[in-house]
Amino acid sequence: MSSPIYILVSGADWRAAKAVGAYRGAADDARDGFLHLSTAEQVRESARKHRSGERDLWLVAVDPAALGSALRWEPASGGRRPGLFPHLYGPLPMSAVLSEVSLPLDKDGLHVFPSEVP
């Protein structure tokens, strides 16, 4: 298996996705036409930049091999950040989920990640 990739999901959206068997994305995903995922090296910055202070945020680890051709590695929208990012063109099936963990906030409103995420 290749290294996991990650998606940040609000608690309400994650609970709804689990009830129906797939995550279809948030408003930003719908606007852009794909689900925004991150590598282990990218996910902390994504949380800081886009989700700082958000309570009830979940970090979902995903097996990229389980996503098939719906997963594409592309530059960030508008080229704002260097490197390639994993984008999923379609819903995230629960069968591709490796783990899920709630991300608490520290005193500065930043998310506390598990030690296995660099």
Q: In this predicted structure, what is the pLDDT of residue 86?
A: 97
Contact (Cβ atoms closer than 8 angstroms) between residue 6 and residue 59: yes
Identify any residues that bridge with 73 across adjacent strands, giving them in sequence order: 86
User: Can you give the pLDDT of all 118 residues of the chain as single tens digits?
Assistant: 589 999 999 999 999 999 999 999 999 999 999 999 999 999 999 999 999 999 999 999 999 999 999 999 998 766 566 789 999 999 999 999 999 999 999 999 899 999 988 7
- Indicate the pTM of the whole model: 0.92
Contact (Cβ atoms closer than 8 angstroms) between residue 96 and residue 67: yes
Contact (Cβ atoms closer than 8 angstroms) between residue 55 and residue 8: no
User: What is the DSSP code string of 13-66?
Assistant: HHHHHHHHTEE---HHHHHHTSEE-B-HHHHHHHHHHHHTT-SSEEEEEE-GGG
Domains of the chain: 5-103 (3.20.170.20)
Q: In this predicted structure, what is the pLDDT of residue 79?
A: 58
Which residues have CB under 8 Å from 48's CB, separation 6+? Answer: 110, 111
Distance, in Å, from the CA atom of 87 to the CA atom of 68, rounded to the nearest integer, reads 12
Tokens, residue 48: 């800081």
Distance, in Å, from the CA atom of 17 to the CA atom of 105, rounded to the nearest integer, reads 23
